[in-house]
Amino acid sequence: MEALFMIGDQLFRFSELALHYALSAAGALIIFIIGWIITGMVQRGTVKALSRIKGVDITIAHFLARAVRYGMLIIILVMILGQFGVQTASILAALGGAALAIGLALQGTLQNIAAGLMLLALRPFRINEYITAGSIQGTVKEIGLFTTDIITSDGLYISAPNSSLWNVPIINASRLPTRRHDYTVGIDYGNDINKAFALIRGVIAAEPDVLPNPEPLFFVSELADSAVILACRYWIKNTAFYPVSRRINQAVKEIFDKNGISIPYPHITYQNGDTPPPLPEAAAARPKAAAAQQKTPPGRKRA
């Protein structure tokens, strides 16, 4: 009888524990389902709310929404473990230590994420803008959380870590609608400066993409060793900067040639040895001079 009583007592305790854990599991399941639904609604609501804010990129909106949801899911996980009697304080301490270890291990990756968020928030460049960042030059094709994709002018693909772009000055050549072109050309010292300036003015005035305001500025920038350097500063529509500057270079050269304005260029004379070779005329005159000295002048006798 005593053995049966002990068995019955054990069965009662087992059923009590089973009922307790069944209720805990049911409560945990309910918490998980409700939490999953609520976090999904919060994520979608966060994306919509951030999308209405002017200047917030859709990528950063989705990233922040996911971060909010994952943070809420961690809290829900702690609540579920609490249903089974697990000490949540120790869990939070373990999660904190794990987060610290992961942060140290992924320090470079986290730097790229932080830099990506700053690039998306501050927008120093956008898609299809031409930038220079350190040694990187090209057109931006995609801005991600970890890397930025850039295509160079010669067709090379660059995947640049965001931290490398964030830590250097960024020159954006496409952001503003206009750009100034500083044009210089050298003419010979014997040429007429005013005539050369008039020809350059005519070339620039014929370009429709050159802006009349601010007015082009013409001046002599330098008196170099072999040329007078003429300079001109004019403003162009940004989209036409390179085509216009190339056309002006060609047009100035052609109109200078037609009007007798010469563009000096360096000359180099190579000399072999210490004494330069004689000119052809001098070499031909030497035998004649020697023969004339050997002749006796009239009225004189040789000694």
Range of the domain at 166: 124-172
pTM: 0.58
Residue 95 lies in a domain: yes
pLDDT of 6 reads 67
Which CATH number belongs to the domain containing residue 143 in this structure?
Answer: 2.30.30.60
What per-residue confidence (pLDDT) applies to 270?
64
Say how far apart CA 296 and CA 10 lie, in whole Å. Answer: 154
pLDDT digits (tens, 9 = 90+) for 180-211: 999 999 999 999 999 999 999 999 999 999 99
The count of domains in the chain is 3
**Is 261:249 a contact under the CB 8 Å cutoff?**
no
> Is the per-residue pLDDT at 97 higher than 60?
yes
Is 12 in the same domain as 98? yes
pLDDT tens figures, 2-34: 665 666 666 666 677 667 677 778 888 888 899
Examine the domain organization and report whether 32 and 58 are in the same domain. yes
- Per-residue model confidence (pLDDT) at position 291: 54
Closest CA to 236 of 226, 246, 228: 246
227-266, pLDDT tens digit by residue?
Answer: 999 999 999 999 899 999 999 999 999 999 999 999 988 7
What residues are paired with 210 via a beta bridge?
A: 236
